[in-house]
Chain A
Amino acid sequence: EAGVTQFPSHSVIEKGQTVTLRCDPISGHDNLYWYRRVMGKEIKFLLHFVKESKQDESGMPNNRFLAERTGGTYSTLKVQPAELEDSGVYFCASSQDRTENYWETQYFGPGTRLLVL
């Protein structure tokens, strides 16, 4: 079974440009998460989808970031316009949806390394 995939693996853009990152979760996983790690800092939560709905977007830095998950399958994260501080590694993770009250493993993709110059 394929794991979480992300595209592109690397992106170098200039300040003010737009970049769109894509995440394909593991098939059948209803939960999709976006995280970001800025160099040398912790991995920080951005938002959480359950199917196509945004369950929690409290970690989104500002309105330059727009995440979508049309149809509840793959997700995109668009940064427009990009700023220097947006540089970092953007991770996507997915997990199954269960009713039992125990933690469901989040499987991470390889990340997209974004550099804004």
Chain B
Amino acid sequence: GQQLNQSPQSMFIQEGEDVSMNCTSSSIFNTWLWYKQDPGEGPVLLIALYKAGELTSNGRLTAQFGITRKDSFLNISASIPSDVGIYFCAGRFGGSQGNLIFGKGTKLSVKP
């Protein structure tokens, strides 16, 4: 089945540092998504990307839809302790509905 390669698996950073994570796929996606999961909660959508080359920001978060449509990255600037959690990338092939293909997640730890 389709797979997304998400890296890094985990990150330990100092508060205030910038963070970067990415996902690559052997398949072309029509939509790229980034979710965050806090402990004991379900994934929450952070950013959705719909067009190749699209660069979207949400506060301190910036994500881009790769021009090949096979990759995406998420940057977090000036990290704070509440950024701790697991970040998942996800892709979709097409249409307005349908299932998501997820990466394995990047576990982010932030030291105050």
Contact = CB atoms under 8 A, between A and B. Distances in A.
B100 A45 contact: yes
Contacts of A91: 42-43
Contacts of A4: 42
Interface residues of B, number: 28
Contacts of A45: 99-101
B58 interface: no
A103 B31 contact: yes
Interface residues of A, number: 33
B97 A50 contact: yes
B74 interface: no
Q: Is the interface of A mostly helix, strand, loop or mixed?
A: loop
Interface string A53-89: 0011001000000000000000000000000000000
Interface string B15-59: 000000000000000010101000011111100101000000000
Contact of A103 (B40, B88, B96): B96
Given A40-B104, A103-B50, A109 B42 contact: yes
B2 to A, nearest CB: 10
Nearest to B33: A103
8 closest Cβ pairs, A-B complex = A108-B42, A45-B99, A43-B102, A42-B102, A42-B104, A103-B31, A108-B43, A110-B42
Interface of B: 3-4, 6, 31, 33, 35, 40-45, 48, 50, 88, 90, 92, 95-105
17 contacts: A31-B97, A42-B3, A42-B105, A43-B43, A43-B100, A45-B99, A45-B100, A56-B99, A95-B97, A97-B97, A101-B95, A102-B50, A102-B96, A103-B48, A103-B50, A103-B96, A104-B96
